[in-house]
């Protein structure tokens, strides 16, 4: 089964990034909706404990983080490319957007006015559950205050507006790149914030660019139940080729954990089966999902050998 499956939920900014990339590529995909908060038993069965949204699945291979999902989509559909040759810095710019811009947008958009709009009509217990879920997710992080986030976001928007000035269609020229999708999901979240979205009003070039990004749509999704996704993994009977390159400090077959270095620091344990400059792959087994290969990017993740 070679169907591309995206596990996501509607309100996730990073899921919107993945959905827009799928639209840009014009791809058909299967859509599995996951809970926005714990418990997530079907997610854990596939990922081993990684609970960020989204993640992608092809058979018994699971791809975590949108930076790696972008590379997966590029392999499946090389054109149109997310990595144009004339924009070699686009992946680094995307890392900035996914980290610095994102963690400016979150406290700005989730200020009281934005929260009231986003959770309008939700019962108080739902708000408490959401807050309780996210507290350990960001434990140890120093979050910006609303005042700091507002000032920083205005500076960042002004810089983006300048980058798009003069009729440039996309951030690095006439073609979109991974950088555009990384910025777009952040500003999509601001747009969805109701009254706090007014911060975007002064930026005409950003507004026109954002409309171009939204026009890519979400490709051709078809719904899929999470239990069916688990069955697909269990019956896949093979995995994408991978190998552990020499000279990178690890050997195939070692017991390791892979952990995000910024937030959602839930380690995933398994057997190392793939390692290169851009990707690490571990093998793990779940009673329902079977033997799964879980793929992570190298950037933003730490690999540790488990002590026997």
What confidence score (pLDDT) does residue 139 get?
Answer: 82
Q: Is the pLDDT of residue 1 over 80?
A: no
198 vs 130 pLDDT, higher one: 198
Domain boundary among 214, 246, 272: 214
Domain membership flag for residue 85: no
Kindly state the percentage of the chain with pLDDT values over 90.
88
DSSP bridge partners of 61: 58, 293
Which range is least confidently modeled, 16-30, 112-126, 260-274, 289-303? Answer: 112-126
Torsion of CA 196, 197, 201, 206, to 10 degrees: 140
State which residues form the domain around 110: 90-214
Q: Which residue has the tokens 């609970």?
A: 51
191 pLDDT band, cuts 50/70/90, is very high
154 pLDDT band, cuts 50/70/90, is very high
Pair 207, 257 in one domain: no
Instruction: Count the residues in the chain.
Output: 308
Pair 156, 99 in one domain: yes
Domain boundary among 163, 187, 214: 214
Which range is least confidently modeled, 52-56, 71-75, 176-180, 259-263? Answer: 259-263
Q: Is the pLDDT of residue 123 over 80?
A: yes
Domain boundary among 176, 197, 214: 214
135 vs 117 pLDDT, higher one: 117
Pair 136, 165 in one domain: yes
Give the containing element (helix H, strand E) for 157.
Answer: helix 146-164
Pair 196, 157 in one domain: yes
132 pLDDT band, cuts 50/70/90, is confident
What confidence score (pLDDT) does residue 122 get?
Answer: 84
What confidence score (pLDDT) does residue 223 get?
Answer: 98
- Residue 150: give its domain's CATH number: 1.20.1050.10
What confidence score (pLDDT) does residue 308 get?
Answer: 64
As a whole number, mean pLDDT of residues 143-150 equals 96
**Strand 5-8 relative to strand 28-33, pairing:** parallel
Pair 208, 95 in one domain: yes
As a whole number, mean pLDDT of residues 78-102 equals 98
Pair 96, 208 in one domain: yes
Report residue 52 CA to chain centroid gap: 7
Pair 20, 43 in one domain: yes
Nearest one of 39, 13, 20, 41 to 214, comparing CA atoms: 20
Pair 104, 67 in one domain: no
DSSP 3-state of 69: helix
As a whole number, mean pLDDT of residues 226-233 equals 98
* Mean pLDDT for the chain overall: 96
- Residue 51: give its domain's CATH number: 3.40.30.110
Give the containing element (helix H, strand E) for 159.
Answer: helix 146-164
What confidence score (pLDDT) does residue 159 get?
Answer: 98
Give the containing element (helix H, strand E) for 221.
Answer: strand 220-223
Pair 65, 110 in one domain: no
Q: How many CA atoms lie within 13 A of 157 on its CB side?
A: 24
Phi and psi of 98, rounded to 5°? -70, -20
Pair 103, 209 in one domain: yes
Give the containing element (helix H, strand E) for 271.
Answer: strand 268-275
**What is the rounded distance in angstroms from the CA atom of residue 223 to the CA atom of residue 5?**
9
Handedness of CA 6, 183, 214, 200 (dihedral sign): positive
291 vs 308 pLDDT, higher one: 291
As a whole number, mean pLDDT of residues 254-280 equals 96
What confidence score (pLDDT) does residue 281 get?
Answer: 98
What confidence score (pLDDT) does residue 129 get?
Answer: 84
What confidence score (pLDDT) does residue 307 get?
Answer: 78
Taking only the tens place, the pLDDT of each residue in 36-80 is 999 999 999 999 999 999 999 999 999 999 999 999 999 999 999
Q: Is the pLDDT of residue 110 over 80?
A: yes
Q: How many domains is the chain built from?
A: 2
Which range is least confidently modeled, 4-18, 104-118, 134-148, 159-173? Answer: 134-148
Q: Is the pLDDT of residue 279 over 90?
A: yes
């Amino acid at each position: 089964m070679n169907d591309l499956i995206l596990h996501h939920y509607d309100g996730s900014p990073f899921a919107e990034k993945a959905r827009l990339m799928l639209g840009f590529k014009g791809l058909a995909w299967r859509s599995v909706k996951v809970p926005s908060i714990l418990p997530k038993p079907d997610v854990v069965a596939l990922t081993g404990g990684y609970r960020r949204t989204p993640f992608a699945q092809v058979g018994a291979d699971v791809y975590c983080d949108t930076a790696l999902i972008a590379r997966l989509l590029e392999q499946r559909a090389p054109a149109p490319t997310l990595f144009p040759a004339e924009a070699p810095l686009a992946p680094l710019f995307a890392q900035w957007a996914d980290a610095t811009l994102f963690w400016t947008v979150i406290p700005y958009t989730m200020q009281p006015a934005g929260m009231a709009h986003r959770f309008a009509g939700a019962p108080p217990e739902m708000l408490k559950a959401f807050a309780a879920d996210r507290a350990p997710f960001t434990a140890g992080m120093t979050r910006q205050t609303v005042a700091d986030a507002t000032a920083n976001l205005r500076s960042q928007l002004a810089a983006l507006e300048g980058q798009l000035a003069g009729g440039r269609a996309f951030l690095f020229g006439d073609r979109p790149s991974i950088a555009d999708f990384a910025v777009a999901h952040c500003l999509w979240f601001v747009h969805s914030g109701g009254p706090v979205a007014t911060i975007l009003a002064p930026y005409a070039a950003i507004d026109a660019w954002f409309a171009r990004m939204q026009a890519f749509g979400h490709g051709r999704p078809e719904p899929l139940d999470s239990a069916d996704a688990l069955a697909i993994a269990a019956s896949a009977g093979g995995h994408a080729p991978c190998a552990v390159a020499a000279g990178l400090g690890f050997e195939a077959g070692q017991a390791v954990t892979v952990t995000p270095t910024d937030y959602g620091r839930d380690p995933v344990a398994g057997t190392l089966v793939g390692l290169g400059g851009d990707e690490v792959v571990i093998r793990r087994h779940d009673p329902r999902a079977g033997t799964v290969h879980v793929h992570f990017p190298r950037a933003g993740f730490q690999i540790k050998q488990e002590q026997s």
